[in-house]
Structure 1
Amino acid sequence: MGNEKETPEERRERMRQRELSNPSSSGHGSNLSDLVGGLGWKGTGLLILLIITGFVVYSLATGN
């Protein structure tokens, strides 16, 4: 099929195109990289800030 002469970059691109055409082949729905990629840097920062704030509030409420 000509895979012997295929460069690693071409192989990765072919595999990426195959994954994009068949997203269910990964076996997962969306993952963290999809979420962060869609939010941008401001949204990601806000998400991190909310997680940290939630952890602090939880720690203060439980007394740990």
Structure 2
Amino acid sequence: MAKIKIRQVKSSIKRPQNQKRTLEALGLRGIGQEVEHDTTPNILGMIEKVKHLVSTTEA
């Protein structure tokens, strides 16, 4: 299955609680942190919720 790299580029401070929880569920806890996930509909939906806080690249 394809992989996707997700990097947090903006802070979660002053963001709604659901966006903070989405970042945490993705495994992101701070600016500059990068994680790798399989490209599944669940993960893509989570990325869509916080697309303004993260950047993505194909792994």
Relative to the length of structure 2, the TM-score reads: 0.26
Radius of gyration: which is bigger? 1
Larger RCO, structures 1/2 (Cα 8 Å, 6+ apart): 2
Structure with the bigger percentage of strand: 2
